[in-house]
């Protein structure tokens, strides 16, 4: 496990909000792949790290309502 970043605190499969130049996307974190997967048209797609402007756990998203 990589312990040198905030990503190491995410749980496997944790839902996050990833911001890219194309907008915000819901993504799942993969510990084994050390990457975010965005569900695009029903297919999980790896989000290249260089495309990510920022990310946050979805639990921190104040605009999300139950």
Report pLDDT for 1.
45
Record the pTM: 0.79
Report pLDDT for 4.
58
Q: Is 48 helix (H, G, I), strand (E, B) or coil?
A: coil
Q: Name the band, by pLDDT with cuts 50, 70 and 90, for residue 34.
A: very high
Distances (CA, A) of 27 to 16, 24, 40, 45: 5, 9, 10, 9
């Amino acid at each position: 496990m990589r312990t040198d970043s905030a990503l190491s605190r995410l749980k496997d499969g944790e839902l996050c909000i990833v911001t890219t130049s194309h907008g915000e996307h819901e993504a799942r974190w993969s510990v084994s792949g050390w990457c975010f997967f965005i569900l695009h048209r029903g297919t999980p797609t790896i989000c290249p790290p260089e495309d990510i402007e920022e990310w946050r756990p979805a639990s921190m998203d104040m605009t999300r309502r139950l």
